[in-house]
């Protein structure tokens, strides 16, 4: 069945968008993800499979990175001696060398999590074959991946040869991570096992090919890998089906000794279920996820599709069965940001999951709990107390932000300060966690794990602030606007610290009343003395919050308005950030803002920050100074603009956010999906246009839908119950179930 607005389609083949589309067509199951690379070779393709948690620090790379795992996709097909490849598209000259592609369509079915590519191909012999390549990574059994290739002889009686293998000789853009590669094979089966060369993770993959003809495996010594082969003849109108089943495990799942046996056991059970059986179970699982994650927009197909697309990408990245891994800034869909975990996860990706898949949100928050030791180590190494989370995090929990950029076009490197100075992340984590607690009422999580994070990061801030000029200040910060580095008194940081300490005190009160033994345990373990708590109160009362009384606006940081003013709108139309146009060193001395900063603060705190007229002044001040150099920015502007009644800007920013990956409007989707922009779009819709918030008695909405929208229907979990809500234009709110 073909569902409306559920499929991403490429028709015909767009080789100039090869890497962009590889990212968009990624499939995954929260354990691993694989880019939409083809089964056959294609120049310039970036075959990438990322398995959560497998990090390694390779020689010559500045920091550890998530490792590109073996390529399980290769299935090379030869038709009458012509290797099937995407060549000579629509070339109808008789028998062009290499054959010709006569038709092509690629479809990603977001509802089913299935990728399909159909190609009509003429071999040099003149035989025409229709090939369809279908693949999925099972959401039901996350160690199982499957491919189905169907060949139909449309014209001629072609001789078909098939070669399948798993390629362990992969790198992260040249960085070598794998060592001790061992292989095993037998008839239709192959296994490949290797270790990462620094961190010592073991990865194993095994495949089993089911195909017509005599299937056998031989060692391809030139390429150092076993290859499974078969050949057969197709008569005109005849169909052949080729299936490849793959199993995958790491030593994070099973001991290295047991791993080979597990790989083969899993293949046996996959073969037992058969392709259709596996697919059915996979589809049923997807349907269950969509039941709560799908948002339906009536009256705007573009927005509807954009929402489903971003939701799909969040769902394929979020770990299901593992609370010791998290989602990197580029999800699992590309090598960008080296798989590192930023604030993107907690403030952009976790909230949609809190609302619709709370179990997955909990997993991501637990990742931080398991990394408290790293956060404490960072605090201590910097001379502070408590827990100070790293700006970029991997498996170890240590700070992994590189200190230097890659070489710029003129060869020099730029110092990266975010690992030193972008400290607001500790509070972002606390914010996300408390939001999760309020929506879910998951007291067990809070008492056993979450409270320790909120309280120990509060301890960090208590030791981090500086008492000077008769008030509390925080120097040397980077707020969300990363163009302005090492500034004193970033309003985002200062104000969120006040919020954080306040919440920490409220949380302690709650624990004392509701879980006194745990309150006692935490007070002792974290040394929450009365003197420390008094200091928190003093900080709350006396923190410096930069504010211009005359203009009635918050000041991003003192000195901001003394810098050169650049009218950002005058630089339209542009495809680059204003920073790229002016250059790094000039733009940091101007008022150009990279991304929502004061506006981000408004998104998080709303009218808790200031009355509405001040919020409006803030927006009107900062919006024209922002170049949205970060993909995190537009959705936050859409959210806040909508809440302030700035409908046109809200919709424009929403459209911008929705196009970031689909239209590659930042030109870097080749490196992976912008996970935060995805989660941001979801939030802009629910918290912005629908005005969703948690009231005293549960979810409440104050909708302000774009004029041409008819309705929005969505589901949120509140304290374990599903609430189905429909808001319409003109405004009406209908609980639908």
Q: At what angle do helices 491-514 and 530-542 cross, to 10 degrees?
A: 140
Please report how close the Cβ of residue 466 comes to ligand IFM at its closest, in angstroms: 25
602/676 with CB nearer ligand IFM: 676
Tell me how far, at minimum, the Cβ of 150 lies from ligand IFM, in Å.
40
- The CA R_g of the chain, rounded to the nearest whole Å, is 27
Other beta carbons within 10 angstroms of residue 693's beta carbon come to: 13
Q: 668 with 621: CB under 8 angstroms?
A: no
Give 85 or 345: the residue with its C-beta nearer to ligand IFM: 345
Closer CB to ligand IFM, residue 404 or residue 547?
404
Contact region with ligand IFM (CB under 6 A), list: 132-140, 337-345, 447-455, 575-583: 337-345
Give the 3-state secondary structure of residue 688.
helix
Which of the residues 477 through 506 are near ligand IFM (CB under 6 A)? 480, 482
Stretch that binds ligand IFM, among 54-62, 121-129, 336-344, 650-658 (CB under 6 A): 336-344
CB of 422 to ligand IFM, least distance (A): 8
d(CA 650, CA 632): 15
Where are the extended beta strands (E) located within 341-409? none
Query: In the complex, what is the shortest distance from the CB of residue 675 to ligand IFM, in angstroms, rounded to a whole number?
Result: 8
Burial state string for 323-351 with b = 16 or more CB within 10 A and e = fewer than 16 = bebbbbbbbbbbbbbbbbbbbbbbbbbbb
| 630 scored as a contact of ligand IFM (CB under 6 A) | yes
Kindly state the smallest distance separating residue 556's Cβ from ligand IFM, in Å. 15
- Give ∠ CA 675-680-682 in degrees, rounded to 5: 105
Residues numbered 673-732 forming contacts with ligand IFM, rule: CB under 6 A: 676
Q: How far apart are the first and last CA of the chain?
A: 26
Q: Report how far residue 582's alpha carbon sits from residue 483's, in angstroms, rounded to the nearest whole number.
A: 12
339-378 positions binding ligand IFM, by CB under 6 A: 342-344
Please choose, out of 177-185, 228-236, 338-346, 537-545, the segment that lies near ligand IFM by the rule CB under 6 A.
338-346
Please, what is the minimum distance in Å from the beta carbon of residue 425 to ligand IFM? 9
What does 510-550 look like in DSSP terms, one character per residue? HHHHH-HHHHHHHHHHTT--HHHHHHHHHHHHHB---EETT
Rounded to an integer, what distance in angstroms lies between the CA atom of residue 198 and that of residue 65?
A: 11
Q: Which CB atom, from 202 or from 400, has the smaller least distance to ligand IFM? A: 400
Of 251 and 331, which has the nearer Cβ to ligand IFM? 331
Can 482 be counted among the known catalytic residues? yes
Phi, psi of 211 (to 5 degrees): -160, 160
Q: Which of 363, 281, 326 is nearest to 112 (CA)?
A: 281
> From the CB of 677, what's the least distance to ligand IFM, in Å?
9
Helix (H, G, I), strand (E, B) or coil at 677: helix
Measured from the CB atom, the residue of 343 and 557 that comes closer to ligand IFM is 343
* CB within 8 Å of 389: residues ≥ 6 apart: 368, 371, 374, 375, 378, 425, 426, 429, 457
Q: How many residues does the chain have?
A: 737
Q: Which is nearer to ligand IFM, 388 or 632 (CB)?
A: 632
Sequence-ordered list of residues with C-beta below 8 angstroms from that of 524, at least 6 positions apart, any chain: none
230 vs 630, beta carbon nearer ligand IFM: 630
Q: How far apart are CA 620 and CA 66, in angstroms?
A: 40
Footprint on residues 631-660 left by ligand IFM (CB under 6 A) = 632
265-294 positions binding ligand IFM, by CB under 6 A: none
CB 396 → ligand IFM: shortest distance, Å? 19
Question: Helix, strand or coil for residue 449?
Answer: helix
Q: Does 131 bind ligand IFM (CB under 6 A)?
A: no
- Shortest distance (Å) from residue 348 CB to ligand IFM: 9
Q: Largest Cα–Cα distance of the chain, in whole Å?
A: 89
Q: Coil, helix or strand for 269? A: helix
Binder of ligand IFM out of 149, 297, 317, 329 (CB under 6 A)? 329
Cα 636 from Cα 380, distance rounded (Å)? 34
Whole-number Å distance between alpha carbons of 461 and 467: 12
Given candidates 70, 312, 337, 472, which one binds ligand IFM under the rule CB under 6 A? 337
Q: Which is nearer to ligand IFM, 420 or 452 (CB)?
A: 420
Closest distance to ligand IFM from the beta carbon of 481 (Å): 9
Query: Which residue in the list 161, 482, 485, 503 is annotated as catalytic?
Result: 482
Q: Are 627 and 580 in contact (CB under 8 A)?
A: no
In the complex with ligand IFM, the residue whose CB is nearer, 342 or 560, is: 342
Question: Residue count at the site for ligand IFM (CB under 6 A)?
Answer: 10
Could you give the residue numbers annotated as active site? 482
The site for ligand IFM (CB under 6 A) is made up of 329, 337, 342-344, 480, 482, 630, 632, 676
């Amino acid at each position: 069945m073909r569902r409306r607005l559920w499929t991403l389609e490429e028709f015909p083949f767009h080789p100039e968008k090869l890497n962009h589309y590889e990212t968009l067509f990624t499939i995954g199951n929260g354990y691993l993800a694989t880019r939409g690379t083809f089964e056959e070779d294609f120049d310039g393709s970036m075959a990438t499979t990322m398995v959560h948690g497998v990090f390694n620090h390779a020689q010559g790379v500045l920091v550890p990175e998530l490792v590109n795992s073996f390529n399980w996709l290769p299935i090379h097909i030869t038709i009458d001696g012509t290797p099937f490849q995407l060549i000579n598209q629509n070339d109808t000259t008789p028998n062009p060398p290499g054959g010709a592609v006569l038709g092509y369509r690629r479809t990603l079915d977001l509802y089913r999590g299935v990728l399909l590519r159909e190609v009509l191909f003429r071999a040099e012999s003149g035989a025409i074959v229709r090939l369809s390549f279908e693949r999925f990574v099972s959401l039901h059994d996350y160690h199982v991946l499957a491919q189905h290739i169907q060949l139909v002889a449309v014209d001629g009686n072609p001789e078909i040869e098939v070669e399948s293998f798993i390629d362990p000789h992969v790198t992260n853009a040249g960085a070598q991570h794998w060592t001790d590669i061992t292989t095993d094979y037998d008839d239709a089966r192959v296994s490949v096992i290797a270790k990462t060369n620094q961190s010592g993770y073991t990865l194993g993959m095994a495949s089993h090919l089911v195909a017509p003809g005599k299937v056998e495996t031989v060692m391809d010594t030139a390429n150092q890998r076993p290859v499974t082969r078969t050949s057969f003849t197709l008569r005109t109108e005849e169909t052949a089906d080729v299936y490849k089943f793959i199993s995958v495990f790491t030593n994070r799942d099973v001991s290295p000794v047991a791993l080979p046996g597990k790989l083969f056991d899993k293949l046996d059970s996959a073969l037992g279920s058969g392709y259709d059986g596996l697919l059915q179970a996979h589809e049923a699982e997807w349907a269950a996820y969509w039941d709560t994650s799908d948002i339906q927009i009536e009256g705007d197909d573009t927005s509807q599709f954009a929402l489903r697309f971003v939701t799909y990408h969040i769902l394929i990245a979020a770990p299901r069965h593992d609370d010791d891994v998290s989602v990197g800034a580029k999800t699992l869909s590309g090598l960008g940001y080296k798989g590192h975990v930023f604030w993107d996860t907690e403030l952009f990706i976790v909230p949609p999951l809190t609302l619709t898949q709370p179990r997955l949100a909990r997993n991501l928050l637990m990742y931080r709990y398991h990394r408290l030791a790293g956060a404490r180590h960072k605090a201590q190494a910097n001379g502070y107390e408590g827990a100070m989370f790293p700006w970029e995090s991997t498996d170890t929990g240590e700070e992994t932000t590189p200190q230097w950029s890659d070489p710029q076009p003129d060869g020099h490197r730029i110092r990266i300060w975010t690992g030193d100075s972008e400290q607001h992340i500790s509070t972002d984590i606390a914010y996300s966690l408390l939001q999760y607690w309020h929506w879910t009422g998951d007291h067990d999580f809070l008492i056993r794990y979450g409270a320790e994070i909120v309280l120990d990061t509060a301890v960090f801030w208590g030791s981090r602030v500086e008492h000077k000029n008769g008030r509390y200040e925080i120097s040397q910060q980077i707020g969300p606007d990363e163009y302005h580095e090492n500034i004193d008194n970033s309003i985002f940081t200062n104000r969120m610290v006040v919020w954080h300490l306040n919440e920490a005190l409220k949380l302690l009160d709650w624990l004392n009343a509701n879980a006194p033994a745990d309150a006692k345990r935490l007070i002792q373990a974290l040394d929450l003395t009365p003197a420390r708590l008094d200091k928190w109160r003093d900080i709350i009362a006396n923190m410096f919050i930069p504010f211009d009384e005359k203009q009635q606006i918050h000041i991003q940081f003192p000195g901001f308005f003394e810098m050169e003013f650049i009218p950002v709108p005058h630089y339209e139309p542009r495809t680059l950030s204003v920073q790229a146009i002016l250059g790094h060193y000039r733009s940091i001395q101007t008022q150009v803002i990279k991304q929502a900063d004061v506006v981000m603060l408004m998104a998080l705190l709303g009218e808790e920050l200031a009355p509405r007229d001040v919020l409006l002044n803030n927006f009107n001040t900062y919006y024209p100074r922002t170049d949205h150099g970060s993909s995190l920015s537009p959705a936050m502007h859409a959210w806040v603009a909508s809440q302030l009644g700035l409908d046109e800007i809200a919709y424009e920013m929403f459209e911008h956010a929705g196009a970031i990956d689909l239209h590659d409007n930042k030109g870097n989707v080749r490196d992976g999906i912008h996970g935060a922009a995805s989660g941001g779009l979801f939030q802009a819709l629910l918290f912005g246009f629908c005005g969703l918030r948690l009231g005293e008695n549960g979810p409440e909405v104050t909708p302000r839908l774009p004029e041409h929208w008819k309705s929005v229907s969505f589901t949120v979990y509140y304290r374990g119950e599903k609430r189905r809500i429909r808001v319409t234009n003109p405004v009406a709110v209908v609980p639908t179930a």
